[in-house]
Structure 1
């Protein structure tokens, strides 16, 4: 197997026409980003509520843009080049499958799907379609993160990577009532970042969840997880969403201990390194192809377009991204069972559930995999973040 290939967008260098599906709060942020981007133009807005879709288009300064409740119908009327899926996680599977069936590449919000079995079905569907499916892990698009990775390479073999994440947001709404609010809604960002920094994949995890007595969340809003990563490195995450005072960055506070020294990053400013015997810095880690276009979702959008123009495999391509969701699923299972969980066992269970739910060519492809890990890593051979 080789690195993923997908159909590029040929023709002139006109901005790509995109339909945004999902017009809630995050959908409006994406609409603003689309309207500000020189790489794309808005072709339409889809939402289950037609009034919400129309209001979002008007708020984005595009009252003339077609809106509707049905992606297939709006795509037939507007001839888009791609879809941006900003729906709730439960809708990621049907929306992405629908877009791929229309021959449209997809840029989706994290997580790749609501569940790991659904993520495997989408991985197979994207592979069969020959279209790009990229997940926007927006916190990777941070120049300080790339500088941190540059400096980490000087430390020799990594030993321990830690993240501390302490904030006290009062969201209201669904997060206050959900199970595993921190793990399911936020932890995928640092878990994904850890994979990127270490160039390593999870092997196992032991995780505990808990709730301070003053917590305003129904589910456990604090957690500690210890991951064994390939190569023997340990990644330790400790976080809380109900810790007022001395709060960390939303990116967390990081420390990497290696054989030749250590590096710390507060999530916002340049990392600090103490490694007197380390070799001088080499060539910098290449930023994403579109790194100059800005951070966050703007960076993800620009890299998506660059990938469609050039065929370069972007960060967040579905095969590469699934293991970040697998880390979340394994951590939840470990916290629920109070035991160490092996990632390959979680992947095998997810594969069995995906096979039971899928049909046709998707089911056949998933069934042909020698293992989930092999299928994902063999199809994600391009170095992460390289153009």
Structure 2
């Protein structure tokens, strides 16, 4: 069975989804495209070779105009939950870009409705679908380091040269925490299998920053077993840049795992690296990485299609993603309050 999808939101990253990610997954077929900007809609439709009858200005029109099984949402974040709810009410499964929502309370409305209707609701946490974090997850699950003592995560990029008037990233709400650190929060949960209970975040606002909200943030994250994670993230770093998944040092009783992931263009895996050392004086030994059928968004999309067809529930289901979102939300509260904040799931 091929899962027929309506794709909503074709500008910027959504256009990249349409042209480079979705076509690589044979388990899905695009039957409808949605975007309110006619030029954007026509450009993507023509690039994909779809007829004019497959193009719509709204999801409402698309749901009425084509037969589909699911909806993929890559529109702006503020529209994620309203669009997801509309799709769910029409009986469609939903895959939505991250961040799922800007609050856990809003996200929970969609999670509950999907569960009531028996439909798949998945969040695209694409950084999970790379070989390095998969290898690290397996190493930690096997107890390779024994008892863990500390984790440190560093993310460094310079993104401050574009014109303020035309570069939307500078206006993204909380670009360090909500747009970037959400990836690292989700990876932290994935590789450790542990949940965060408390976070202390401090953001800084250099005078030369073009961002309207925080672009530099440091955090201390406490996990449920008391393990402390140190996080440093910056869009304004002049230090050597990291890969998009950052640089991780995971330390334990029996050694250290170091890894990095998602370097270069989306889906490239050449920059994925994992090393293992037994002690401070030992050489770091490279770890062999698994080969994945699909990486990045394609890996998540394939998992989504298989869930729709009756396979396992997606590991980044809306229900599971509430925990990544709750950590993001607590970090934002802490950055604003200047105090440690508990990670609270909505009732």
* TM-score bucket (shorter structure): 0.7 to 0.9
Alpha-carbon contact 1:181-1:219 (below 8 Å) kept: yes
Q: Deviations over 1:277-316 (max 9, x none)?
A: xxxxxxx99x8xxx84321111111111111223301121
Aligned to 2:137: 149
Which residue of the other structure, out of 169, 173, 182, is the alignment partner of 1:188? 182
TM-score, with length taken from structure 1: 0.79
After superposition, the C-alpha distances for 1:158-215 in whole angstroms (9 at most, x for unaligned) are 2211110011024552322345321121110001000111101111111100033433
| Equivalent-residue separation in structure 2 for 1:131 and 1:259 (angstroms) | 43
Alpha-carbon contact 1:211-1:220 (below 8 Å) kept: yes
Q: Are the counterparts in 1 of residues 81 and 110 from structure 2 also a CA contact under 8 Å?
A: yes
Q: How far has the Cα of 1:64 moved from its partner?
A: 4.9
Structure 2: runs of 5+ lacking an equivalent: 262-270, 280-287
In terms of fraction of residues, the more helix-rich structure is 1
**Which of residues 261, 277, 288 in structure 2 aligns to 1:274?**
277
Q: Secondary structure at the match of 2:211?
A: coil
Give me the TM-score of the superposition, normalised by structure 2.
0.87
Partner residue of 2:18 out of 10, 31, 35 = 31
Is this contact kept in 2: 1:148–1:270, CA < 8 A? no
Note if contact 1:327-1:343 (Cα within 8 Å) is conserved in structure 2: yes
Instruction: Name the CA distance, whole Å, in 1 between partners of 2:231 and 2:239.
Output: 19
Query: For this pair of structures, how many residues does the alignment match?
Result: 323
The aligned counterpart of 1:233 is 227
1:356 aligns with none
Structure 1 residues 24 and 178 mapped into 2: Cα distance closer, same or farther (>3 Å)?
closer
Moved more, 155-164 or 210-219: 210-219
Residue matched to 1:159: 149
What does 1:120-131 correspond to in 2, within 5 Å? 120-131=108-119
Q: Secondary structure at the match of 1:95?
A: helix
| The 10-residue stretch of structure 1 (318-327 or 63-72) with the greater mean CA deviation from structure 2 | 63-72
Task: Report if aligned partners of 2:258, 2:275 keep a CA contact under 8 Å in 1.
Answer: yes
Match of 2:67 in 1: 79
For residues 109-133 of structure 1, give each alpha carbon's deviation from its aligned partner in whole angstroms, at most 9, with x where no partner exists.
Answer: 0011132211111111111111000
Q: Distance in 1 between matches of 2:84 and 2:173?
A: 25
After TM superposition, the structure 1 = structure 2 runs for residues 22-61 of structure 1, keeping only pairs within 5 Å, are 22-32=9-19, 33-61=21-49
CA distance in 1, matches of 2:275, 2:235: 26
Q: CA deviation at 1:52?
A: 2.4
- Please say which of residues 179-188 and 130-139 is displaced more in the overlay: 179-188
Q: 1:264 — aligned with what?
A: 258
The answer to whether the 8 Å contact 1:42/1:65 transfers is no
- Alpha-carbon distance in 1 for matches of 2:229, 2:83: 34
User: Which of 245, 250, 257 in structure 2 is aligned with 1:251?
Assistant: 245
- Distance in 2 (alpha carbons) for counterparts of 1:117 and 1:323: 12
Higher alpha-carbon deviation: 258-267 or 248-257: 258-267
Q: Matches of 1:106 and 1:253 in 2, distance apart?
A: 32
**Distance in 1 between residues matched to 2:205 and 2:91, nearest whole Å:** 45
Change over 3 Å in CA distance of 1:179–1:41 after alignment to 2: closer
Q: Which runs of 4+ in 1 moved over 4 A?
A: none
Unaligned runs of 5+ in 1: 1-12, 277-283, 352-371, 373-387
1:90 matched to 2:93? The reply is: no
Maintained 8 Å contact 1:159/1:232: no
Shift of 1:227: 0.9
1:205 counterpart (199, 206, 218): 199
Q: 1:312 corresponds to which residue?
A: 312
